[in-house]
């Protein structure tokens, strides 16, 4: 049998820094939206989304400088 290679779950790198920051900003906004929509119904989940957004914001600040 020959080896077969599957691309499922493979990760491709973002080569353009502008695209990377843009993607991270989109993720940040998405997590903040999720946090605000779940804040009153599930505070633990909202806190999780806020922590994820804070981590992404730190990465954005690091890349911007």
pLDDT tens digits, 8-56: 666 666 667 778 889 999 999 999 999 999 988 999 999 999 999 999 9
CB-CB contact of 44 with 9 (8 Å): no
What distance in Å separates the CA atoms of residue 36 and residue 43, rounded to the nearest whole number?
10
**Which is it for the CA torsion 42, 48, 54, 60, positive or negative?**
negative
The domain locations on the chain are: 17-64
State pTM to two decimals: 0.71
Q: How far apart are CA 51 and CA 55, in angstroms?
A: 6
The pLDDT assigned to 65 comes to 78
CA gyration radius, the chain: 17
């Amino acid at each position: 049998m020959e080896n077969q290679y599957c691309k499922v779950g493979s990760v491709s790198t973002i080569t353009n820094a502008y695209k990377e920051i843009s993607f991270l900003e989109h993720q940040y906004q998405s997590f903040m939206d999720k946090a605000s929509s779940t804040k009153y119904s599930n505070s633990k989940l909202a806190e999780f989304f806020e922590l994820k957004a804070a981590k992404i914001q730190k990465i954005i600040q690091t890349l911007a400088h």
